[in-house]
């Protein structure tokens, strides 16, 4: 996968996002505190926001002015944004036909025909993942998938994410403010603070380096 954000700027409520970034690993984490602009970057890549200036290039294709429906990104927002009036089956097949491997890996079979309102937090996350995967995206955009999930469930959702990473070839861009998640899932990490990139390296190198004080402060939050 290659994702390039070339001189992307966007004025936000409290600061101006100004990012130039080229990413090519299969699993990349964008790491930074709340309000750093992480979600905004995912929304820019998904086409749900338009930058003030700059170019977004996905796998060599300039998608800056391409509508979201043609970008081929699988977006899993933090709140899942499942369609509340549709069953699990109709949610996950909204963007593409049912595939048994996705249903198997995410263990969706027991509740395929249930309404999404009846699902637990962890189940909803799996449905959102399946919905994104079945649209056959070129990249999965995961916005803090473990946020708001209790500790026990975190481990389980993380297991599902690792299974998805192992079973499907789709690259992932993973946004988080948790250091452990970066280490558990990503190969490359981009550090973001108040709309600026403050670091980018392989996760192995990042781990070895003494973590910057600002990063270690987040590690236990």
| Chain residues that interact with other proteins, rule: CB under 8 A | 46-48, 67-71, 73-75, 77, 79, 81, 83-85, 94-96, 131-132, 135
Closest separation in Å from C-beta 69 to other proteins: 5
Task: Closer to other proteins by CB, 32 or 137: give it.
Answer: 137
Q: Nearest distance from residue 88's CB to other proteins, in Å? A: 15
What is the nearest approach in angstroms of other proteins to the Cβ of residue 81?
Answer: 5
DSSP per residue, 120-186: -HHHHHHHHHHHHHHT--SEEEEE-TTTT--HHHHHHHHHHHHHHHHH----EEEEES-HHHHHHH-
User: Which residue, chain included where needed, has tokens 């929304």?
Assistant: 43
Which string of DSSP letters, residue by residue, matches 36-104?
SSHHHHHHHHHTSS--SEEEEEETTEE-TTS-GGGT-EEEE-TT----TTSBHHHHHTSSS---HHHHH
Whose Cβ is closer to other proteins: residue 60's or residue 84's?
Answer: 84
Task: State which residue, 142 or 191, has the beta carbon closest to other proteins.
Answer: 142
Nearer to other proteins, 58 or 203 (CB): 58
| Least spacing, CB of residue 208 vs other proteins, in Å | 36
* Contact between 28 and 186 (Cβ < 8 Å): yes
CB-nearer residue toward other proteins: 57 or 184: 57
Which of 79, 101 has the CB closer to other proteins?
Answer: 79
CB of 75 to other proteins, least distance (A): 5
Token pair, residue 190, equals 């981009």
Nearest distance, CB of residue 93 and other proteins, angstroms: 10
Q: What is the DSSP letter of 32?
A: -
Distance CA 160, CA 155 (A): 9
SS3 10: strand
The strand pairing partners of 28, in sequence order, are 173, 188
């Amino acid at each position: 996968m290659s994702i390039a954000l070339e001189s992307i700027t966007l004025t936000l409520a409290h600061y101006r996002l100004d990012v130039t970034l080229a990413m090519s690993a299969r699993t990349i984490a964008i790491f930074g505190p709340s309000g750093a602009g992480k979600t905004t970057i995912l929304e820019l890549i998904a086409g749900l926001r338009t930058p003030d200036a700059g170019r977004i290039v996905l796998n060599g294709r300039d998608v800056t002015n391409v509508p979201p429906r043609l970008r081929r990104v699988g977006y899993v927002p933090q709140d899942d944004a499942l369609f509340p009036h549709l069953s699990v089956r109709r949610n996950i097949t909204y963007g593409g036909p049912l595939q048994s491997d996705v249903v198997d890996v995410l263990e969706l079979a027991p509740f395929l025909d249930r309404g999404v309102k009846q699902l637990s937090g962890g189940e909803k996350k799996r449905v959102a993942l399946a919905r994104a995967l079945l649209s056959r995206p070129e990249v999965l955009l995961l916005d803090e998938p473990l946020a708001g999930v209790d500790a026990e469930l975190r481990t389980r959702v993380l297991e599902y994410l690792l299974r998805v990473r192992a079973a499907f070839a789709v690259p992932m861009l993973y946004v988080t403010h948790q250091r452990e998640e970066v280490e558990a899932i990503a190969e490359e990490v981009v550090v973001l603070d108040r709309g600026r990139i403050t670091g980018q390296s392989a996760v192995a190198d990042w781990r070895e380096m003494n973590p910057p004080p600002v990063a270690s402060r987040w590690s236990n939050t």
